[in-house]
Amino acid sequence: MATVLTDIHPALTTLSEQERMFQEAVRDFATSEIAPKIMAMDEAQQMDRGLVDQLFELGVMGVEIPETYGGTGADFFTSVLVVEELSKVDPAMGVLADVQNTLVINAILRWGSDELKGRYFPRLASDTVGAYALSEAGSGSDAFALACRATADGDDWILNGQKMWITNANEAGVFIVFATVDPGAGYRGITAFVVERDFDGFTVGKKEDKLGIRASSTCELVLENVRVPAENVLGDVGKGYKVAIETLNEGRIGIGAQMIGLAQGALDHTIAYVQQREQFGRTIGSFQGVQFQIAEMATEIEAARLMVYNAARLKCAGEPFLTQAAMAKLFSSETAQRVTSRCIDLFGGYGFTKEYPVEKLYRDAKIGTIYEGTSNMQKQTIAKVLLK
210-247 confidence digits (pLDDT tens): 999 999 999 999 999 999 999 999 999 999 999 999 99
Looking at the fold, whether 280 and 377 belong to one and the same domain comes out as: yes
* Three-class secondary structure of residue 155 per DSSP: coil
Same domain, 258 and 309: yes
In this predicted structure, the answer to whether residue 4 has a pLDDT above a threshold of 50 is: no
Q: What is the pLDDT of residue 7?
A: 53
Residues 77 and 138 in one domain: no
With cut-offs at 50, 70 and 90, classify the pLDDT of residue 3: very low
208 and 248 inside one domain:
no
Range with lowest mean pLDDT among 8-17, 56-65, 88-97, 329-338 = 8-17
Tens digit of pLDDT for each residue in 240-293?
A: 999 999 999 999 999 999 999 999 999 999 999 999 999 999 999 999 999 999
Is 380's pLDDT higher than 60?
A: yes
pLDDT more than 90, % of the chain: 92
Report how far apart, in Å, the C-alpha atoms of 350 and of each of 2, 277, 281, 345 are: 47, 11, 19, 9
Among 172, 205, 238, where does a domain finish?
238
Q: Is 231 a catalytic residue?
A: no
Q: State residue 73's pLDDT score.
A: 97
Considering the domain architecture, whether residues 298 and 365 belong to the same structural domain is answered as: yes
Tell whether 348 and 292 lie within a shared domain. yes
CB 76 within 8 A of CB 316: yes
Question: Could you tell me the residue range of the domain that residue 225 belongs to?
Answer: 132-238
Whole-number pLDDT of residue 14: 74
- Does residue 152 carry a pLDDT above 70? yes
**In this structure, what CATH number is given to the domain that contains residue 111?**
1.10.540.10
Q: Are 310 and 345 part of one and the same domain?
A: yes
Statement: residue 54 has pLDDT above 50: yes
Q: What was the pLDDT predicted at 388? A: 86
Q: What is the CATH number of the domain that holds 166?
A: 2.40.110.10
- Chain mean position to CA 276: 34
Polymer length of the chain: 388
Domain of 369, CATH number, reads 1.20.140.10
Annotated active-site residue in 85, 136, 250, 372:
372
Q: What is the predicted pLDDT for the residue at 6?
A: 43
The per-residue pLDDT for 16 is 87
Whether residues 252 and 366 fall in one domain:
yes
The answer to whether residues 67 and 116 belong to one domain is yes
pLDDT at position 1 is 33
**Per-residue 3-state assignment (H helix, E strand, C coil) for 267-334:** HHHHHHHHCCCEECCEEHHHCHHHHHHHHHHHHHHHHHHHHHHHHHHHHHCCCCCHHHHHHHHHHHHH
Q: 64, 22 in Cβ contact below 8 A?
A: no
Same domain, 230 and 257: no
pLDDT, residue 12, reads 57
Distance (Å, whole) CA 224 – CA 215: 28
The DSSP-derived string for 107-134 is HHHHH--HHHHHHHHHHHHHT-EEEEE-
pLDDT at position 144 over 90: no
Last residue of a domain, one of 238, 257, 288: 238
Same domain membership, residue 111 and residue 152: no
Q: What is the mean pLDDT of residues 37-53?
A: 98
Q: Is 238 left (phi over 0), alpha (psi -120 to 50) or beta?
A: left
Sign of the alpha-carbon dihedral angle for 316, 317, 318, 321:
negative
- Residues 154 and 61 both lie in one domain: no
Cβ-based burial of 75 (10 A; exposed 0-12, middle 13-18, buried ≥19): middle
This prediction has a pTM of 0.95
Confirm if 223 and 322 have CB atoms less than 8 A apart: no
The structural domain count of the chain equals 3
Name the more confident of 10 and 67: 67
The whole-angstrom separation of Cα 255 and Cα 370 is: 10
113, 128, 143 - which closes a domain: 128
Name residues whose C-beta falls within 8 Å of residue 3's C-beta, 6 or more positions apart in sequence: none
Residues with Cβ < 8 Å from 249, sequence gap 6 or more? 321, 322, 325
What are the angstrom distances between the C-alpha of 89 and each of 6, 27, 30? 33, 9, 6
Name the pLDDT band for 145 (thresholds 50, 70, 90): confident
Residue 74: strand, helix, or coil = coil
Dist CA 103 CA 12 (whole Å): 23
- At residue 166, φ and ψ (nearest 5 deg) are -95, 110
> What number is the average pLDDT over the span 121-130?
98
Sign of CA dihedral 307, 308, 311, 316: negative
Residue 5: pLDDT band (50, 70, 90) is very low
